[in-house]
Structure 1
């Protein structure tokens, strides 16, 4: 599988030069570096790739040549010991082992450290399929993992140095306390634990450690049900009917001024998400190529950025109206945060003014927020509105999940947001109560 060569690069007469190694693994994957061994060019034999049989170096020649000869078998043994065909992983681990072999790195540093593994995992799976899903890491997930890396690195830098063996039940308590003291919400704390468990599980599968406390029931992901909003069909129609003719520019922050054109674009993008069930990473990047027709009916066909699966969605009348208004073109891309800024202002104009209360655990304490509903609208409310409204309309859950790509009914039911009155109204439509 691998080929190995030694050479002296840019040899200078009468000057000791480093012997460099070149390991070609496969398909362009290479490792190169210094062996930490130096010699005069006249003692190097490029044909045998060993030191020449010279009296002047007889004291060290045999040891050096033996080291170089052993390197060949060392590389093959290491590659076989990794039990993987993933060339990036082989390259990453072999480079670490080679540095140990040539005494460039202490042996106790041999296993890829936990924080290093975070970094490797994120970068590697951006372009390689995850073993669990067969899909690459989505941009949103990669961002979540990068934030988790930043937070656990902060713990590492301020509390105590982390190794795989540090991840114990005792560590779990300390980490939860640390996150709580940072005033994070309970669900955000749960995200940090979930990512850590993912990293520990993946590194365990790669034989980097044998530490299994993270699998214990105690080492759980904290979570709580939070009442995130959805907009009713009537509220969405109010947003659709907002008149922007007298709209004045709004300075949201130094870097963003909400203009009439941006407000209309944000409104249309939000409505597209609300009547397709697409994630924001998908509904902000649609173009006319996503429109198809089957048996005379128009559909939207999209490959999900997160799941890499295709989904085909019938066009709602509101989506048809948006396309008709825009001459069959979709609104241009708009960043997530800009939509968040804009949709609150649009909700205010549309008078989405019902009182709304949200309760979360933050910093270990229950915190309640009460305000007008429009202040809680965000870009993600669109997808949740679709799922909830489709469910209330009587659309079979299996059909909604075909569009939303929720993995299980349990996940779906936790995702849609109905209060007890709305649930009762849905139940009352059953023939049992007639």
Structure 2
């Protein structure tokens, strides 16, 4: 019967143990395998020769629990787990026992020949660096999407908003498959799939921008599949394999709109609460996922008495320090320094529309409004709502993003673009400029005024320097 022993065979004071497996062949001849382990100990600890008397004391009279050196072979001393010595002994025993069990189990499975001297070394290597089983990914697209989400979660790149968007896209593919009675594999994502997807999306009145976002997610998922070794169609790597976005009209609140919102006579407390959140979003430029979490304990005062709002942006993970403007202080003072009550995203969107309607923001604007396609709303499902382009009264187009767009638009050219991008959390200027709702001519006029002010300041500075030099010469 095979047996495993651990041996200290180094001349050094501290070294790893060796392990030896011994057995006999059919002729009763002994043979053995030997290899190094990663179990480190000291020569004194392993080779100590101590004996205890019937009273549990060492022969030299010292109490066992006060003795700092003990040989591992005295396993009866494991009871000393409360002492440093007992702890060390238990640790060594646990490591050797676990490795012994692993070796014997593998020996029974592999049944290596006695000539295979490298067998034990390979087993020790496997013990300390276990093989990671290769994950088997499905090749059907909708099945792979679940694995994609798991992978993104494993590397902390799956926010709740992303998970919802991906699952929405997945559900559309499932509906498309059911309608066409076909199953799409990852290798099927090509121009024919694109045609099917566009036809389906158009039939059910999904906007071009919604189609573009869904299609981009599908491409991203397929690229992930390629990284995992699955076969994909090369077309997914082509830049023109996409659904082009349509330019979507956006609105923002003018200074006159903001003044009307402030002065609106609201009859309900929930509208007053929503109005203050809307104003907070205008003064801070933050996403609803961030500003709706604001609390008074996020306010910090520096050594100069300046107040800042300190928080972590949920989407980007950036640490933010927002200067607290006087308008924001006025809102906090209404509630003894506290922010308004938190409400859900859906209620916020509904309530600020009511606020803007009371404020009489009735000008006709082009934009997208979410409507129900089902005439009988009692039968409507989540698939029956669409953002439809048209001309509506301004209050109907107000949503949670309007505060952020208003902040970026009203402060464009007044605050430097890098500073504005810091406040909004945009990482590229292209993304940031999408939030600027001004026509190109207005943007150019603002840029012109900024350059004119810079030139005027330089001229003023040169004049002051000349006057100062003349005064010195006199």
Q: What interval of TM-score do these two structures reach, taking the shorter chain for normalisation?
A: 0.5 to 0.7
Offset of residue 144 of structure 1: 1.4
Look at both structures and tell me which one has the larger radius of gyration over its CA atoms: 2
Please give the secondary structure, in 2, of the residue aligned with 1:415: coil
Aligned to 1:150: 171
Q: Which residue, out of 432, 435, 438, partners 1:412?
A: 432
Aligned to 2:146: 119
Q: Is residue 2:281 matched to residue 1:281? A: no
Q: Distance in 1 between matches of 2:232 and 2:294?
A: 46
Q: Distance in 2 between matches of 1:321 and 1:158?
A: 56
Q: Which residue, out of 407, 410, 431, partners 1:389?
A: 410
Q: Distance in 2 between matches of 1:142 and 1:320?
A: 36
Aligned to 1:206: 228
Q: Is residue 2:180 matched to residue 1:172? A: no
Structure showing greater relative contact order (alpha-carbon pairs closer than 8 Å, 6 or more residues apart): 1
Q: Distance in 1 between matches of 2:276 and 2:404?
A: 14
Aligned to 2:323: 314
Aligned to 2:349: 340
Offset of residue 368 of structure 1: 4.9
The answer (yes or no) to whether the contact 1:292–1:299 under 8 Å persists in 2 is yes
Q: Deviations over 1:12-55 (max 9, x none)?
A: xxxxxxxxxxxxxxxxxxxxxxxxxxxxxxxxxxx858999xxx
RMSD: 3.6
Please give the secondary structure, in 1, of the residue aligned with 2:310: strand
Which is further off, 228-237 or 197-206?
A: 228-237
Task: Go from structure 1 to structure 2 and tell me whether the alpha carbon gap of 1:404 and 1:127 turns closer, same or farther (over 3 Å shift).
Answer: farther
> Map of 1:13-28 to 2, 5 A cutoff?
none
Q: TM-score, structure 2 length as denominator?
A: 0.61
Offset of residue 212 of structure 1: 2.0
Q: Distance in 2 between matches of 1:48 and 1:142?
A: 43
Q: Deviations over 1:329-356 (max 9, x none)?
A: 1122211111111111100111212221
Q: TM-score, structure 1 length as denominator?
A: 0.67
Unaligned runs of 5+ in 2: 1-103, 110-121, 374-386, 457-474
Aligned to 1:265: 273
Task: Go from structure 1 to structure 2 and tell me whether the alpha carbon gap of 1:432 and 1:282 turns closer, same or farther (over 3 Å shift).
Answer: closer
Aligned to 1:186: 208
Q: Is residue 2:434 matched to residue 1:426? A: no
Q: Distance in 1 between matches of 2:154 and 2:281?
A: 27
Task: Go from structure 1 to structure 2 and tell me whether the alpha carbon gap of 1:308 and 1:424 turns closer, same or farther (over 3 Å shift).
Answer: closer
The answer (yes or no) to whether the contact 1:384–1:416 under 8 Å persists in 2 is yes
The answer (yes or no) to whether the contact 2:368–2:397 under 8 Å persists in 1 is no
Q: Deviations over 1:231-285 (max 9, x none)?
A: 12332232233232xx1xxxxxxxxxxxx22212211112111111111111111
Aligned to 1:25: none
Q: Deviations over 1:164-223 (max 9, x none)?
A: 110112212221222111210010001101110110111111112243211123312420
The answer (yes or no) to whether the contact 1:291–1:298 under 8 Å persists in 2 is yes
Q: Is residue 2:351 matched to residue 1:331? A: no
Q: Which residue, out of 247, 251, 263, partners 1:241?
A: 263
Q: Which residue, out of 279, 297, 314, partners 1:305?
A: 314
Q: Which residue, out of 128, 131, 154, partners 2:155?
A: 128
Offset of residue 125 of structure 1: 2.6
Q: Distance in 2 between matches of 1:127 and 1:384?
A: 34
Q: How many residues align?
A: 325
Q: Distance in 1 between matches of 2:367 and 2:211?
A: 18
Q: Distance in 2 between matches of 1:324 and 1:413?
A: 34
Task: Go from structure 1 to structure 2 and tell me whether the alpha carbon gap of 1:139 and 1:203 turns closer, same or farther (over 3 Å shift).
Answer: same
Unaligned runs of 5+ in 1: 1-46, 53-71, 82-89, 97-109, 130-135, 248-259
Aligned to 1:31: none
Aligned to 1:36: none
Q: Distance in 1 between matches of 2:445 and 2:141?
A: 50
